[in-house]
Amino acid sequence: PGEVTSSFIGANNVKNILDQENCIGVRIHNGYDIENKKISLVFVGVDENGKEILENGLIYDKVLLCPDYCPIDGLTF
């Protein structure tokens, strides 16, 4: 109980990552939100060589977590 069961990131945020120059995909890392003391995901763009776009790149590390932001009539584990 109380453990993270899912995460949500909006389509616009994913699109912003993919719209970066030379970005061909997204890598998702397991992270830890120190403020909330919970597991969280980190999203970063990847170029054609498999290199993460870090310098001046977009990194999303604040996603909505379940619990509190849980699916309505969706998958639950």
- What pLDDT sits at residue 5? 86
| Per-residue confidence in pLDDT tens, the chain, 77 aa | 778 888 999 999 999 999 999 999 999 999 988 887 888 899 999 999 999 999 999 999 989 988 888 888 776 65
Residue with tokens 């993919």: 18
CA atoms 19, 23, 12, 74: torsion sign: positive
Give pLDDT, residue 44: 97
- What pLDDT sits at residue 28? 96
Token code pair at residue 16: 């912003």
Tell me the residue type at 64.
L
How confident is the model at residue 75, as a pLDDT? 67
What are the tokens at 52? 């993460």
